[in-house]
Amino acid sequence: MSATDTFDIADVRTRFTSLSRGFAFFDGPGGSQTPDAVGAAIAATTRDASANLGAPYATSRRVTAILEEAERGAAAFVGASPGEITFGMNMTSLNFALSRTAARTWQAGDRVIVSALDHDANVAPWIELAHDHQLDLQTIAIKADTTLDLDDLRAKLDDRTRVVAFTAASNAVGTKTPVREISDLAHSVGALSWVDGVHFAAHEPVDVDALGADALLCSTYKFCGPHLGFAYVRAEVAETWRPYKVRPLPTPTTGRKMSTGTFPFEALAGLNATFAYLDEIGGMAAIGAYERGLAERFLATLPSTVVHYGLPHLEGRLPTFVANVEGVPADIASERLAERGVGVWSSDTWYSLGLYETLGFGERSLRIGMSHYNTVEEVDLLVAELGRLS
Ligand SMILES: Cc1ncc(COP(=O)(O)O)c(C=O)c1O
């Protein structure tokens, strides 16, 4: 039996009101659907736990419990300790803030390496940092097949390299990177391994120790959670940093040391419901296996009028595709698909400027992302409607 047969997709779908309306969402890479339990937890928090940390009564104890549960949940999700988790508004804001904290002791001329495969949220913070502090910014090239060119990385690493910032998987073409190998290369010159886990974490289990990551950032609205980001920073690394922080606040953990202001307790309660949901339906390994089954079917049945960029098979990639339909501009294709009950976006760069410049997806393209709440029937509908477009 394949994973598409053993995963209880019917049970999954009953948990989402948004999936009962006859529309097939293939836009998870932009933002996933959210189970009703997440919204219910958010609403309950605004009703029952509207306080802040540290007061000697029930509502305050409840928000403390919500925060602690969220730290434990996020830590378990990435294989870290609860004290190593920092929450923030989204991945981008966290990355701008943490990159600046990390770099407080760096000197002009120190080297920062980013990747041409990355979403700009893990490139722009380093470009701006390099601009402000005269750092030497280098970019790991990608090969024609969209994999990272590790020889190029090796050539660019030197003893002044402070960080290698790269994604675990492309949010556009779905290509995965050899995170452990890159982390080892970064560590071989004493640099930090700084991983954008946003796209990867929505599809496969994360283990920061196995990946050798010093920092790894996630965005919870990509895996059925609320609009919220969190970061893991290895405690031994974070302990050496001087955080940007208001002074009177106690800092019980290195993770909290780097969060600023009051926590979004409602969203954290929603996140706790998200982690419970992901566990109840079998966890990320089961999710990944099921999604691979959907993607295999998609690739096997894709009409010849559809060109997709990136790796042609599932080896080394996630179920996320950038594609064009022969003779049909992407904006028109996405509108026509939406009219027929299929949700995919069209865009130009997908925020992956290096990839766009290297590969050129055509001026605009469609992004088709499979999520664990999609069905085989939805994939068949998608393929049929793509076929009808040209
Ligand atoms: C791979 C990747 N990294 C980073 C981001 C930015 O995440 P956020 O919206 O949480 O700032 C995105 C958002 O689409 C993404 O896909």
| 206 and 180, same domain (yes or no) | yes
In whole angstroms, what is the distance from residue 33 CA to residue 167 CA?
23
Beta-carbon contacts of 279 under 8 Å, excluding residues fewer than 6 positions away, are: none
Structural domain includes residue 35: no
| 263 and 372, same domain (yes or no) | no
Chain mean pLDDT for the chain: 96
Predicted confidence at residue 348, as pLDDT, reads: 94
Atom of ligand 1 nearest to the CA of 196: 3
Structural domain includes residue 381: yes
**C-alpha dihedral, 55 to 58 to 64 to 69, nearest 10°:** 170
| 370 and 272, same domain (yes or no) | no
| 52 and 130, same domain (yes or no) | yes
Last residue of a domain, one of 258, 278, 298: 278
For residue 198 and ligand 1, the question of a CB distance below 6 A is answered with yes
Atom of ligand 1 nearest to the CA of 199: 1
Number of domains in the chain: 2
Cβ 218 vs Cβ 197: under 8 Å = yes
Cβ 199 vs Cβ 222: under 8 Å = yes
Last residue of a domain, one of 259, 278, 297: 278
| 104 and 74, same domain (yes or no) | yes
For residue 199 and ligand 1, the question of a CB distance below 6 A is answered with yes
Predicted confidence at residue 246, as pLDDT, reads: 85
Q: In percent, how much of the chain has pLDDT > 90?
A: 94
First to last CA, the chain: 35
Strand order in the sheet with 161-167: 85-88, 229-233, 215-219, 192-196, 161-167, 111-115, 136-140
More confident residue, 363 or 143: 143
| 268 and 291, same domain (yes or no) | no
Quick: pLDDT tens for 70-82. 999 999 999 999 9
Cβ 73 vs Cβ 275: under 8 Å = yes
Quick: pLDDT tens for 353-374. 999 999 877 789 999 999 999 9
| CATH code of 249's domain | 3.40.640.10
| 164 and 218, same domain (yes or no) | yes
Q: How confident is the model at residue 250 (pLDDT cuts 50, 70, 90)?
A: low
| 123 and 229, same domain (yes or no) | yes
In whole angstroms, what is the distance from residue 226 CA to residue 214 CA?
25
As a whole number, mean pLDDT of residues 153-180 equals 98
Identify the CA nearest to 390 among candidates 317, 309, 348, 336.
336
As a whole number, mean pLDDT of residues 325-342 equals 97
Predicted confidence at residue 4, as pLDDT, reads: 77
Cβ 390 vs Cβ 327: under 8 Å = yes
What is the residue with the minimal CA distance to atom 13 of ligand 1?
A: 30
| 76 and 114, same domain (yes or no) | yes
Predicted confidence at residue 3, as pLDDT, reads: 75
In whole angstroms, what is the distance from residue 157 CA to residue 20 CA?
51
List of E strands, 208-314: 215-219, 229-233, 306-309
| 269 and 288, same domain (yes or no) | no
Quick: pLDDT tens for 214-247. 999 999 999 999 999 999 999 999 999 999 988 7
The DSSP bridge partners found for residue 307 are 324
Structural domain includes residue 129: yes
Atom of ligand 1 nearest to the CA of 167: 1
As a whole number, mean pLDDT of residues 174-198 equals 98
Ligand 1 centroid–CA 275 distance in Å is: 19
Cβ 108 vs Cβ 133: under 8 Å = yes
What is the residue with the minimal CA distance to atom 14 of ligand 1?
A: 30
For residue 91 and ligand 1, the question of a CB distance below 6 A is answered with yes
Ligand 1 centroid–CA 93 distance in Å is: 10
Predicted confidence at residue 5, as pLDDT, reads: 79
Predicted confidence at residue 319, as pLDDT, reads: 98
Biggest CA pair distance of the chain: 66
Cβ 157 vs Cβ 339: under 8 Å = no
| 221 and 313, same domain (yes or no) | no
What is the residue with the minimal CA distance to atom 7 of ligand 1?
A: 91
Identify the CA nearest to 224 among candidates 174, 281, 262, 157.
281
243: amino acid identity, one letter: P
For residue 119 and ligand 1, the question of a CB distance below 6 A is answered with yes
Atom of ligand 1 nearest to the CA of 121: 4
Predicted confidence at residue 6, as pLDDT, reads: 87
In whole angstroms, what is the distance from residue 117 CA to residue 166 CA?
8
Ligand 1 centroid–CA 31 distance in Å is: 9
Last residue of a domain, one of 278, 310, 339: 278
Query: By CB neighbour count within 10 A (0-12 exposed, 13-18 middle, 19+ buried), where does 247 fall?
Result: exposed
Q: Is 136 helix (H, G, I), strand (E, B) or coil?
A: strand
What is the residue with the minimal CA distance to atom 5 of ligand 1?
A: 121
What is the domain extent for residue 291?
A: 3-30+283-389
Among 14-18, 210-214, 259-263, the range scoring the smallest mean pLDDT is: 259-263
Atom of ligand 1 nearest to the CA of 169: 1
| 304 and 374, same domain (yes or no) | yes
Residue 331 has pLDDT above 90, yes or no: yes
Structural domain includes residue 262: yes
**C-alpha dihedral, 96 to 98 to 99 to 101, nearest 10°:** 120
| CATH code of 352's domain | 3.90.1150.10
For residue 358 and ligand 1, the question of a CB distance below 6 A is answered with no
Predicted confidence at residue 1, as pLDDT, reads: 62
For residue 90 and ligand 1, the question of a CB distance below 6 A is answered with yes
What is the residue with the minimal CA distance to atom 8 of ligand 1?
A: 91
Say which DSSP state 317 is in: B
Identify the CA nearest to 325 among candidates 383, 390, 238, 235.
390
In whole angstroms, what is the distance from residue 321 CA to residue 368 CA?
5
